Structure formats: C-alpha cells, structure tokens
A and B are shown apart, each in its own frame.
Chain A
C-alpha cells in the first residue's frame, strides 16, 4: 500500500486516509476489551484485565476503570501510559469547568473537550496520536445517564451499549442482539459478563481477570463504585460463567 504516507500524522494518504490514526486503532484492537452498557438506573463498565500475575500488587488502584470527576468515570482500552495522560487531562478539564461555573461539567462537554485534544494530535504538532479508546459513563442533570465511546481520531458518539479493545466487533454485535431499552442495572451487568465471557480469549472467567464499575444515583448523588473481587465472584457464579468452589465432600 502507500507506505510512504505512514510516518507523518499530519498528512493524508492519496486514498484520503490518516494511517497513523488507523494504526493507533490497530494497537487498541490488541488490548484488553471493555464493555459499557447504559441502563435506566445507571451505567455499567466491565473490563478485561490483561495483566494477571500472582505477583501483581492488587492495591486500591484499578487497571481499566478511572474516575474523572464525581459524576463521570471511564474505562480504557489501549496503551496504558497514553491513557494516563488523557485521564489526567480530562480530570483537569472537569475541574477547570467546575472552578469557572461552580457546577459539574456536563458529560458530553467533557467528552467533547477531551476529543478536541485528541484531534489536535491528528492534525498538527507532528506528534503521534494517543493509542487509547475510552468508554465514558456519567450522569448530569441535563440528559441523565449517558455512555460515550471515543477513539484516537477524536471522534465520539453516545451509545446504549458499546465495546472497545480486543474482539470489540463480536462483542458489539452480541450486544446489539441482546440489548433491550428498559434494561435494569443488574440485567446489564449480567449481559456484559455474558458477552465478555464469549469474546474473551481466556478459557475460564475469574474475578481476577475482570473489573466491574457502576455509575448510579444514590439519595440524589452520583455514585461510582468498583465491584469488589468477592462481589464480582458472586456475580460470575450467578451468571453461570464460573462454577462455584467445589464443596469438600
């Protein structure tokens, strides 16, 4: 193909493509997958953890899910170091808005602002694009619960259910078949687990390989909760994806 149009982000190929942006999306296609589902009482994000080793220090930090502000969280797929930069940028943008207006930044505006940053890296500066896709889950008083997906090109759109990372196309078509508009949060969690179990490469699904986060309202306040490994295990058993620990006979 036209390999000589690859190396600079700031030029189009003769076919009108931006190769660097496409290559960035390739990189994400090899990364751990993440699924987001919008339900009527919240948004859930489920992610596949690629780094599973007994030696890993499982402290309070998460690999796939990050809180941007009190009312917005995101799931990440792609190059983690790139993701950290963008997450920090998103956090600063959210606080800057809150400082100016003394109100939480509407979710779409936050996503748009971050995507404008990402777009800059596809047009000028000579720097490569970020190799990260995001699923943003949040709540604001204008549009309630929302789910947005964004990619290295700086495009974004709102979704009822979306998948990023490895096997995202298979996950997306499964979600399209099984998603119902009035889905509840519990049903959404079950659906996400079911879809992930089918699209993930690993043979068995345990709570060490997954991360689950929920954005919901509790007494009028937006809550972001990452599921504990024990609770996640229970959910996996309930959905029939893992067998309960064998009873000593």
Chain B
C-alpha cells in the first residue's frame, strides 16, 4: 500500500512518498523517510520490500559517493539511473531486489530530470511517474492537471491534489506523506503532509 510519485517542474523536480512503515496489520511508524538523498543534487524515492528498499538505496548512495571520491566529479543523474538499473538487472535472475524507484536529479547542463525504475529493472526517463496502489489516483490526477514548466507553487498544488485523492479513495490509505525537492540549489526536504501526528512524548523529570 506504499505510494511514491514524482514530477518535473520548470527547473526543479519533486518526489513524494508516504511515510508509513507497515508490518502485516501493524503500523510500526508513520514518519518513515523513504526518499534517500543520494548526493547534493539527487533524490531517490523508493517503495517495496522494506529491507531491500533501505539496503538498495543505501548501496546506490554509497556507490555515488565512491565515484565522486575516486574521480573528483559527480555522476550525472542519467548515469546514476543507468547504474541503478544495471544493478537491479544483474540481481534480477538470481536474487532480485523488490524495490521500485523514482530517481530525481538536477544537472547544470541538462536541468531537472526524473527516472522511473521498477523492480524488474525497466528504466524510463519521464516527466511524471508513480508506484503502488496510489499510482492509480496520482497518475490520473497528473494526467489531468500536469503541464510542462510548472512553478513550485503550481507543482505543490498538484501534489496536494494527488495526496487528497489517495487519502480519500484508497481503502488503507497512508496518513502521512513526505515531499522532497531538487533544484539548482540542491536536494532537500520540502514539507510533510501529516494527518496523524504521534502524541508528544512526556520527558522524564530530572
């Protein structure tokens, strides 16, 4: 029931993911961060098998860092996407990673870009993408309202429309979402959209 989706704007890209960590009927936590910051200008939102998601995104993050240490220059978003797809493809017929990925990045020469990489190692460069049951609603909303070169405000309006649809129409809808953005100034957290907040934990008396 995890939802991850993303879109490209005028000179930025956004990745949104739900933040529930679920085990069968139990919700472990509602503030899980599923959008890995790979380097200064790349975001990797992932959904799927919990262990695989955490381990694989960390693996990609460390390889991206290693490349930069070895070669003094960062990987481009396209190269990162192809590398990621290659790793999924190599493992596919032996020990597949059950992870779906939306990779967003900003390169100075190319601008913002978004890549759809599914668990069987398909790779597509796209303007908008979504995974999970939420994708039925997110893609429909984006097909209706998405335009090229949207501003951040317009894009966030569309993101909120998607979240609203997922919350109201999906039977076991995740309550909270995390939005991250990447642009020329870097990759960073943009906002949370919470409908359930944990009760504040009392502090023990000194």
Interface string of B62-81 (1 = CB under 8 A from A): 00000000010101101100
For the complex, would chain B's binding face be called helix, strand, loop or mixed by DSSP majority? Answer: helix
Chain A residues positioned under 8 Å from B73 (CB to CB): 106, 142
Q: Which of B38-86 contact A (CB under 8 A)?
A: 71, 73, 75-76, 78-79, 82-83, 86
Q: How many residues from A make CB contacts under 8 Å with B?
A: 10
Determine if B86 and A103 form an interchain contact, defined as CB atoms under 8 angstroms apart: no
A109 to B67 Cα, complex, angstroms: 11
Determine if B82 and A100 form an interchain contact, defined as CB atoms under 8 angstroms apart: yes
Determine if A101 and B83 form an interchain contact, defined as CB atoms under 8 angstroms apart: yes
User: In the complex, how many angstroms separate the beta carbon of A100 from the nearest chain B beta carbon?
Assistant: 5
A70 to B99 Cα, complex, angstroms: 35
User: Smallest CB-CB separation from B73: which chain A residue?
Assistant: A142
Q: Which of A44-103 contact B (CB under 8 A)?
A: 99-103
Is residue A4 contacting chain B, with contact meaning CB distance below 8 A?
no
Is residue B109 contacting chain A, with contact meaning CB distance below 8 A?
yes
Q: How many residues from B make CB contacts under 8 Å with A?
A: 10
Determine if B78 and A102 form an interchain contact, defined as CB atoms under 8 angstroms apart: yes
A141 to B83 Cα, complex, angstroms: 19
Determine if B79 and A102 form an interchain contact, defined as CB atoms under 8 angstroms apart: yes
Interface string of A102-115 (1 = CB under 8 A from B): 11001011000000
Q: Which of A100-157 contact B (CB under 8 A)?
A: 100-103, 106, 108-109, 141-142
Determine if A103 and B71 form an interchain contact, defined as CB atoms under 8 angstroms apart: no
User: Smallest CB-CB separation from A99: which chain B residue?
Assistant: B86
User: In the complex, how many angstroms separate the beta carbon of A69 from the nearest chain B beta carbon?
Assistant: 16
Determine if B109 and A101 form an interchain contact, defined as CB atoms under 8 angstroms apart: no
Chain A residues positioned under 8 Å from B86 (CB to CB): 99-100
A141 to B78 Cα, complex, angstroms: 14
User: In the complex, how many angstroms separate the beta carbon of A110 from the nearest chain B beta carbon?
Assistant: 11
User: In the complex, how many angstroms separate the beta carbon of A141 from the nearest chain B beta carbon?
Assistant: 7
Determine if A103 and B83 form an interchain contact, defined as CB atoms under 8 angstroms apart: no
User: In the complex, how many angstroms separate the beta carbon of A221 from the nearest chain B beta carbon?
Assistant: 16
User: In the complex, how many angstroms separate the beta carbon of B39 from the nearest chain A beta carbon?
Assistant: 15
Chain A residues positioned under 8 Å from B76 (CB to CB): 103
User: In the complex, how many angstroms separate the beta carbon of B169 from the nearest chain A beta carbon?
Assistant: 38
Chain B residues near A (Cβ < 8 Å): 71, 73, 75-76, 78-79, 82-83, 86, 109
7 contacts between A and B (CB under 8 A): A99-B86, A100-B82, A101-B78, A101-B82, A101-B83, A102-B78, A141-B109
